[in-house]
Structure 1
């Protein structure tokens, strides 16, 4: 039986596959991606699974249920990373899934059991998140083939270089009748479990996100010669918007983040004539998120008018909120109760996950594992062995709870 210590050691082994040592960076359709898939595939085989790499580059494994050909309960997460990543975001969930599959190898389950290591949750290389899980869900747009990485390589070219056939990407899609549901274990990426002294929590819903490029257009003029009443400073307008965004978000249940600022012409002695900022807006429901955007955009528009600035908006990403299925929430709660936590803590996920895409074809549920100080997307990302032990036991118990539900329904 794979222990928590072995799970953590396997996460450390995956750290070897990085394009930027000593920092961890493993992106879609890279040599490092291929190496991680190969190692994960070997662990899947050791857990008694039949393995394959699907036409989108996801690493998969399957063991049949009590009779061959049954729909599958899917366990997994992702194997790719952000730049300068930690060791557990995504990877912990994949390795835990493999471990639980190994623990259950002698059980006759009323479904097949599959494990998947999704290939591109982060979107680091091509700027488009969830490519692997969207292919799994049958969502693929032809214009994605023209996406380019920082070296100018298109997604289409990267598929060919990796040994995948772009014409077959649709074969990665799964049908709803092939699946029972999807359970994903993941580090929390927030401080709430630690603040409550809990090892584990269950997810109620995954944030609906929208991303924008906000542009402020003024007039570039000499910094010394232009009096203030004549200035149309785009950067000052953008700065006012940034403080407004934070203030309004703090007053609500939404999360709004400006992560990038670009200024033109960017000279020390020139008033900025243009400023572009990013906005990442998230909430537990799409209604809350969209209402916040309507209020923000109207207020920024008014502030720009007062300053004589033109305000332009381009939406770059939209993902609907994904509620976790009630029955899978209950299964995860049963798993958490099995480790002695009689009142499991429910959390909405502020971060996005592959479950958002998988939820388009089957019910999803998520188990959160405590991470130190809520740090993620950073080398200091850390989990404790005792929490991983609890997570393995709870995930195994959740799978057995699903088996009891499915078996009872069939009986």
Structure 2
């Protein structure tokens, strides 16, 4: 029998084990992350499952079914530093509870094979590269680029992986796990204010927005801050500041979001006009054409403000991913399941990226369920969701699991 309260209790136990007064500390490939894996493995011992770690470090628990077709339920136990108690781990522990119910109902032999997966390093908090484990699964993984990554202490990703028994060069072999995957389900806190604003506990996710991430470097001329008149300065920071305001107009024009997340100035001293200002730009929207137009508008605006200030501008590519639309039939199943638990359902896109995007890129029919986030806050120790809503989310994931299994059996 499904026991959603057990999921709530296990989430609290994991918080106690791997958090502190500042929040969750399950940063990937650290001791706290390893402790969270042990926490999960200990509970899997009560199920007749095979537990394995793939070459990228993703942990898989497999309940063998009558059919080799595999229904995957996934999430991530890693967190950002000082993170919230639900981000990522709700997905995994809710999936564990569904696996218990399926095992009990079918006496250890469900109609399809059920697999619970913990994706390694979804957050990218330590090395700056999100979706590490799921991108190895999808095949969108460049070992050479990954090998260049280092954390703030200068430790390379290669060495950090080696420390937990993973060889970076072998990570692409995780793609072998795609072979029999027929559907993927992921439950996640919304991490935004939409559902709370509508007073709804749950939503069906349409897909993940596309993302363009770039560096924009304005180049002017260093000059003495005391002797250089304002009207003759070639101030790279002024050009960047004008651009910073313009991104709000660009975001509104396309109903997307734009963020300047970092700013570096050189020479970076109080007595000099800024010669060089490098900013990072993150742009997101669900429509691919709009995403391309947003980036083009950003480039045009940056060139305009650079020219106005007697500066030049250069663009660098950080990372991008196309918009990912989830499977329409699975979205319908989520909506139907929500309506079996609550009076109203809502469909919405996901602004944050998730492992589900990489699974969908691998060609696996995919869907996500969102549960309301209080205050719309995540990646913060005050991240929270009402316990009633957590229990309802487990119920919905369970119902979607049954619908997905039946649907899979009818597919060629």
TM-score, length-scaled by structure 1: 0.94
Distance 1:21 1:200 in 2: 29
Superposition deviation, residue 380 in structure 1? 0.8
Distance 1:309 1:46 in 2: 65
**Corresponding residue for 2:368?**
366
Does residue 1:98 correspond to 2:100, yes or no?
Answer: no
Deviates more, 1:37-46 or 1:209-218: 37-46
**Corresponding residue for 2:25?**
25
Q: Judging changes above 3 Å, is the alpha-carbon distance between structure 1 residues 31 and 182 closer, same or farther for their aligned structure 2 residues?
A: same
Superposition deviation, residue 28 in structure 1? 2.2
| Cα pair 2:265 2:274 within 8 Å, conserved | yes
Superposition deviation, residue 175 in structure 1? 5.4
Deviates more, 1:11-20 or 1:213-222: 11-20
Q: Judging changes above 3 Å, is the alpha-carbon distance between structure 1 residues 47 and 186 closer, same or farther for their aligned structure 2 residues?
A: farther
1:296-327 Cα shifts (integer Å, max 9, x gaps):
21122012101101111111011111110111
Superposition deviation, residue 261 in structure 1? 1.3
**Corresponding residue for 1:54?**
54
Deviates more, 1:48-57 or 1:78-87: 48-57
| Cα pair 2:337 2:396 within 8 Å, conserved | yes
2:224 corresponds to which of 222, 225, 235: 222
Distance 1:289 1:166 in 2: 32
Superposition deviation, residue 142 in structure 1? 2.3
Distance 2:22 2:368 in 1: 31
Deviates more, 1:78-87 or 1:349-358: 78-87
Superposition deviation, residue 25 in structure 1? 2.7
Deviates more, 1:273-282 or 1:259-268: 259-268
| Cα pair 1:51 1:60 within 8 Å, conserved | yes
| Cα pair 1:48 1:102 within 8 Å, conserved | no
| Cα pair 2:4 2:395 within 8 Å, conserved | no
Q: Judging changes above 3 Å, is the alpha-carbon distance between structure 1 residues 287 and 380 closer, same or farther for their aligned structure 2 residues?
A: same
Superposition deviation, residue 11 in structure 1? 2.1
Q: How does 1:146-185 map to 2 (within 5 A)?
A: 146-174=148-176, 176-185=178-187
1:190 corresponds to which of 172, 189, 192: 192
Does residue 1:351 correspond to 2:352, yes or no?
Answer: yes
Superposition deviation, residue 377 in structure 1? 0.9
1:3-26 Cα shifts (integer Å, max 9, x gaps):
333322322333345587644232
Q: Judging changes above 3 Å, is the alpha-carbon distance between structure 1 residues 166 and 216 closer, same or farther for their aligned structure 2 residues?
A: closer
Q: Judging changes above 3 Å, is the alpha-carbon distance between structure 1 residues 286 and 44 closer, same or farther for their aligned structure 2 residues?
A: farther
Distance 1:407 1:169 in 2: 31
| Cα pair 1:137 1:174 within 8 Å, conserved | no
Superposition deviation, residue 221 in structure 1? 1.0
| Cα pair 1:41 1:59 within 8 Å, conserved | no
Superposition deviation, residue 266 in structure 1? 2.0
Q: Judging changes above 3 Å, is the alpha-carbon distance between structure 1 residues 322 and 309 closer, same or farther for their aligned structure 2 residues?
A: same
**Corresponding residue for 2:75?**
77
Distance 1:48 1:332 in 2: 28
TM-score, length-scaled by structure 2: 0.94
Distance 2:2 2:43 in 1: 11
Describe the SS at the equivalent of 1:312.
strand
Q: Judging changes above 3 Å, is the alpha-carbon distance between structure 1 residues 259 and 168 closer, same or farther for their aligned structure 2 residues?
A: closer
Does residue 1:378 correspond to 2:380, yes or no?
Answer: yes
**Corresponding residue for 2:127?**
126
1:384-407 Cα shifts (integer Å, max 9, x gaps):
111112111111111111122223
**Corresponding residue for 2:4?**
4
Describe the SS at the equivalent of 2:382.
coil
**Corresponding residue for 1:204?**
206
Distance 2:392 2:313 in 1: 50
| Cα pair 2:204 2:334 within 8 Å, conserved | yes
Superposition deviation, residue 408 in structure 1? 3.9
Deviates more, 1:144-153 or 1:5-14: 5-14
Superposition deviation, residue 228 in structure 1? 1.6
| Cα pair 2:204 2:348 within 8 Å, conserved | yes
| Cα pair 2:137 2:177 within 8 Å, conserved | no
Q: Judging changes above 3 Å, is the alpha-carbon distance between structure 1 residues 131 and 114 closer, same or farther for their aligned structure 2 residues?
A: same
Describe the SS at the equivalent of 1:193.
helix
Does residue 1:259 correspond to 2:261, yes or no?
Answer: yes
For structure 2, which runs of at least 5 residues remain unmatched after alignment? none
